[in-house]
Structure formats: C-alpha cells, structure tokens
C-alpha cells in the first residue's frame, strides 16, 4: 500500500512538472501505480472500466448544460445588466466599484455556475472601469479573483454536482440550498474587506443616481435574475431535476441573449457550442481520470488508513477538522477543484461523519475550502485570467489578496464548526 501511494503521488507531480495536463497526469500516475500491484492487461482493462464508469451518471449531464448556458450568458449582455443593477444600488458607497465587483460576481456566478465565466465576464468590464476611477489595478484584480469563487457555492454549481456523485448520493437539490447562506456570507465578508480597504486608501465616491434610474436598472436586470428563480425554484419545487434544470437554463439563456437582448447572433452559436464542448470534454476527462484514481486508492485501502491515522492523531474534533481544512487548502493550491473533490471526498468524508458532521455540511466545507485554492497560486485559474485582464503580474496581487483570504478563511471556520449555516435552509425547505 505504501509503495502504491508513493508511486501515485510522485508520478502525479512528476507529470505535472513536465507540463502534462492535469487530467493526463492523474490518469498516467494512476496507471503506473496500478501496474505495481496488478498485471498489465487487467490493469489497463480496469483503468478503462473505471474511467467509463465514472462518467456513467445521469447527474453529470447537468454539467454540459450549465457550461453552455454560462457561455451564452457571458456573451449575451447579462453580465453588463447585472453590473449596472449593482452599480445603481450600491455604487455610491465607499469602495462602491469594488462592492459592485463582488455583488456582480456573486450574481453572475449564481446564474452561470462558473468562477471562470464570472471572472471573465465581470472582470473584463469592471477592471478597466476601476482603473479609470483611480483604484489600484492589483487590488481590483484581487477582488475579482476572490469574488468569482462565490459562484462555486451559490447554485447552480457544477462542483456541487460533482460532490454529490463523489459522496455517494447526497441530494443535489439539498446541496444547492445548502450553498446559499455560506456563499452569501463569503460575498459579505469580501465586501467588508473592500469597504475598509477603500476607506483606508481614500478611493473616490461615485455619484448617487436618481431613484428613477435605479428603478430602471433594477427592472432591466430582472429577466437575467429570473433565471435563478426559474432554475432553483423548479428544482426545489420538484418540477424538474438538476439535469433538466440545466437544459431549461440553456433554452432560457438563448431566448434572453438571442431573442430579447439580441447581443448574441445566430451565426455566433456554432463557436459557442464548440467552446462548450471543449470545456465539457476537459471536465469529463478530469472526472474520469479522478474516478480511476479514487478506485485505486480504495483498492489499496488508503482512505481507511489515512482516516484511522487522523483519528489517532487527536481525539479533539476541532483539531482534526482544522487539520483537514489545512490539508485541503494546500491541495487546492495545486490541484483543480474537480479532481480534488473526487479524490479527497472518499478520504475525508468518513472521518468528518465520525466526528458528527453531515455529508451536506462537509460538502459545503470542502467546496468553500477548495474555492480558496481556486484563487491561490500557483494553479488558481481565476488568478491568471484577472492578471491578464488587469495587465498585472501574479506576484503583485498577492498582498491585496491576503485580507480577502483571511475573510474567506473566517467564513470557512464558521461553516466547519457551525452546522446551522449549511443545514438550516435545506432543513427549512424539507430536504
């Protein structure tokens, strides 16, 4: 077992160091490690079976639908209307543009279900605007990167669907409901940091808009915001499943972007579909490879061994949960969210359940934890996007990111140790 684990870890990082894509690194490391305990032909056959089996899930069909709807909305003028709505409501407060950035990322993330989509769509508009108004580009990029991750918690969220599969059957609808309060808490914590930072730096205030314009901007954003009501309301009401909700999101976003806003032309749809297929293929390959690695870990009893080691390390639940969080933060800094959830859920969920944590609470904890990694170097995807848009270097935004990390960590601790934050809303709705 020890040899397999060592080969798996060393092989994975070796392939990463020579610039092999993450999904390929996971798959190759798994196959190499498997060959040390299983003969070649059965190993290759098992690898293929486990990868195919990992994708044999109806729930996973929701992912390509939400990816497609997110891409359509990113080009369909929805981001612009959400930003204008947020600007009208809170733009005149201290640090108004930073607050608008956070709220816009939360809303667009909630609609698209993608941190990368929120980062690209909101950042491309807000970062130049913040620079024009005198905001530090490094601070602006840091705010966008951190705020974009709220879309991982506020439904619909692809990563919550992945966790539902990895955990062995937690209700996707319950997970969606569980993500609301923690997601909003993260957004409010980031807004508090932005407010304090703006007061310290003396950033200029924006003019307060007349009530008539505020109402106009709010009504202009209503069709975009209705998508949240349509998708989540349908799931909660039992009208359709999460997968069917994804299909409905695609249809609605098409009607909105092509028919009503007219910002997506019919001739642009083939390119959007191609990008959607590319993104979906990457995600599915990650899921397939990670499923194979999870099977190998289980075959070698590695999760059970690590679980036992953690429980023997301390009899204090607070200490063990803190250790799990710290380990996941390190993992999140190096590994993409999808494989991290698929690989580490079977390892840490049994420990968390022995400590009295429900699968629902643990799911929100691990996603929030890995969201911090999503905006952390060296792998954080949203960091590189925001740096490119803000035309700054990665090392320049680390300092302004530190207080934002601290705010997210405080919320993580609250979610970890207080079950109410993730379980109250699902319980109230009967999940």
pLDDT of residue 1: 57
Residue written as token pair 């929100």: 364
- 228 found inside a domain: yes
Mean pLDDT computed over 15-27? 85
Mean pLDDT computed over 85-110? 82
In the predicted model, is pLDDT for residue 337 greater than 60? yes
Full domain range(s) for residue 53: 38-428
Long-range contacts of 104-108, Cβ-Cβ distance < 8 Å, separation of 24 or more = 104/79, 104/147, 105/144, 105/147, 105/148, 105/150, 105/151, 105/187, 106/147, 106/150, 106/151, 106/154, 106/183, 106/184, 106/187, 107/82, 107/225, 108/73, 108/78, 108/79, 108/82, 108/151
- 6 found inside a domain: no
- Report how far Cα 348 is from the mean position of its chain's Cα atoms: 19
- 28 found inside a domain: no
Mean pLDDT computed over 132-140? 85
pTM for this one? 0.87
Look at residue 137 and give its three-state secondary structure.
helix
In the predicted model, is pLDDT for residue 360 greater than 90? yes
pLDDT of residue 410: 95
Q: What is the pLDDT of residues 414-430, one digit of tens each?
A: 999 999 999 988 888 87
User: How many domains does one find in the chain?
Assistant: 1
Degrees (nearest 5) of the Cα angle 130, 264, 141? 20
When comparing pLDDT for 413 and 152, which is higher? 413
pLDDT of residue 368: 94
In the predicted model, is pLDDT for residue 361 greater than 90? yes
- The H-or-E segment that residue 192 falls in is helix 172-201
For residues 138 and 392, is the Cβ–Cβ distance under 8 A? yes
When comparing pLDDT for 194 and 168, which is higher? 194
pLDDT of residue 173: 85
- 31 found inside a domain: no
| Packing angle of the helix pair 115-132, 96-112 (nearest 10 deg) | 160
- 33 found inside a domain: no
- 13 found inside a domain: no
The token duo for 99 is 């607050």
What does pLDDT average to over the chain?
85
pLDDT of residue 427: 87
Q: What is the pLDDT of residues 194-241, one digit of tens each?
A: 989 888 887 777 777 787 888 888 888 888 888 888 888 887 777 888
- 27 found inside a domain: no
When comparing pLDDT for 217 and 192, which is higher? 192
- 81 found inside a domain: yes
When comparing pLDDT for 206 and 389, which is higher? 389
């Amino acid at each position: 077992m020890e040899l397999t684990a060592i080969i798996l870890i060393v092989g994975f990082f070796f392939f990463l160091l020579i610039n092999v894509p993450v999904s390929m690194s996971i798959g190759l490391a798994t196959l190499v490690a498997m060959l040390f305990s299983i003969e070649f032909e059965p190993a290759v056959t098992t690898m293929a079976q486990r990868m195919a089996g990992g994708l044999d899930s109806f729930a996973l069909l929701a992912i390509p639908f939400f990816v497609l709807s997110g891409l359509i909305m990113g080009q369909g003028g929805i981001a612009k209307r959400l930003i204008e709505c947020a600007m009208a409501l809170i733009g005149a407060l201290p640090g108004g543009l930073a607050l608008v950035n956070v709220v816009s990322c939360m809303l667009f993330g909630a609609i698209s279900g993608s941190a990368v989509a929120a980062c690209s769509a909101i950042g491309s508009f807000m970062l130049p605007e913040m620079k024009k108004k005198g905001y530090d580009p490094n601070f602006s990029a840091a705010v966008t990167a951190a705020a974009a991750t709220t879309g991982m918690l506020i439904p619909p969220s692809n990563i919550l669907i992945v966790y539902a599969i990895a955990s062995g059957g937690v209700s996707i609808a319950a997970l969606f409901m569980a993500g609301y309060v923690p997601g909003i808490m993260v957004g409010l914590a980031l807004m508090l940091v932005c407010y304090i930072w703006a007061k310290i730096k003396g950033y200029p205030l924006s003019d307060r808009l007349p009530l008539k314009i505020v109402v106009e901007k709010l009504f202009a954003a209503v069709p975009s915001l209705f998508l949240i009501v349509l998708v989540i309301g349908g799931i909660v009401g039992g009208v359709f499943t999460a997968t069917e909700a994804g299909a409905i999101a695609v249809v609605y976003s098409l009607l909105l972007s092509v028919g009503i806003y007219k910002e997506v032309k019919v001739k642009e749809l083939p390119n959007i579909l191609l990008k959607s297929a590319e993104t979906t293929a990457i995600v599915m390959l990650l899921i397939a490879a990670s499923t194979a690695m999870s099977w190998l870990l289980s075959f070698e009893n590695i999760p059970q061994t690590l679980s036992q080691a953690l429980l023997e390390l301390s009899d204090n639940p607070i200490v063990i949960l803190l250790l799990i969080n710290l380990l996941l933060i390190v993992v999140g800094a190096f590994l993409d969210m999808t494989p991290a959830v698929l690989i580490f859920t079977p390892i840490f969920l049994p420990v968390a359940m022995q400590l009295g944590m429900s699968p629902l609470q643990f799911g929100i904890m691990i996603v929030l934890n890995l969201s911090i990694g999503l905006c952390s170097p060296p792998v954080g995807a949203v960091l590189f996007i925001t740096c490119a848009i803000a035309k700054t270097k990665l090392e320049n935004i680390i300092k302004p990111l530190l207080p934002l990390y601290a705010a997210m960590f405080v919320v993580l601790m609250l979610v970890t140790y207080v079950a109410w934050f993730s379980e109250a809303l699902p319980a109230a709705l009967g999940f």
